[in-house]
Homo-oligomer: A and B are copies of this chain.
């Protein structure tokens, strides 16, 4: 098994806000502790012209995911957030998503804490518990619904940012083709996680 370079992987699958693998290796984010507000001045994604939306980290939780591969060498934890329009549509099961809906997909490399795991396994001996949490930020992706502006790509614009900088055109060309299999869900792979 050969791992292709992260950039090549990105180019091949593009911006799958639902299930995409992106950069395989950890990269340090410019905004490690902020709420995303300060990132809106950056460059726009090629093809679609999308900038990082102000305050996206404040959006509502749609779901969480884990992506694994390479025999366990690649492990990401992921969260999908929605702005009000997207979240309302998810909750109502409304398809297609209305114009103005934006879905953000935040990706982190997994991290763990020996101290946390010690606590867990003292409380529950014999089960072999392991806890993993969101470690270094990898990238963030957006799907922006505008049925007129993005008519050629199912009504969605795509964007992928690493360290606040958008990926290149080749990467973004792969976005829409990758989302084609989810056409019957308006090209969105992510399902709304039930409220416990």
A108 touching B193 by the CB < 8 A rule?
yes
Residue of B nearest to A38 (CB): B195
Interface residues on A, range: 35 or more
B128 touching A69 by the CB < 8 A rule?
yes
The interface of chain A, by Cβ under 8 A from chain B, is: 1-4, 9, 12-13, 16, 18-19, 21, 29, 31-36, 39, 57-58, 60-61, 63-71, 74, 77-79, 81, 91, 93, 106-108, 110, 115-116, 118-120, 123-124, 126-134, 136-140, 161-162, 178, 181-182, 189-196
With A58-B60, A64-B78, A69-B124 given, can you name 5 additional A-B contacts, CB distance below 8 Å?
A19-B131, A57-B195, A68-B130, A68-B132, A108-B193
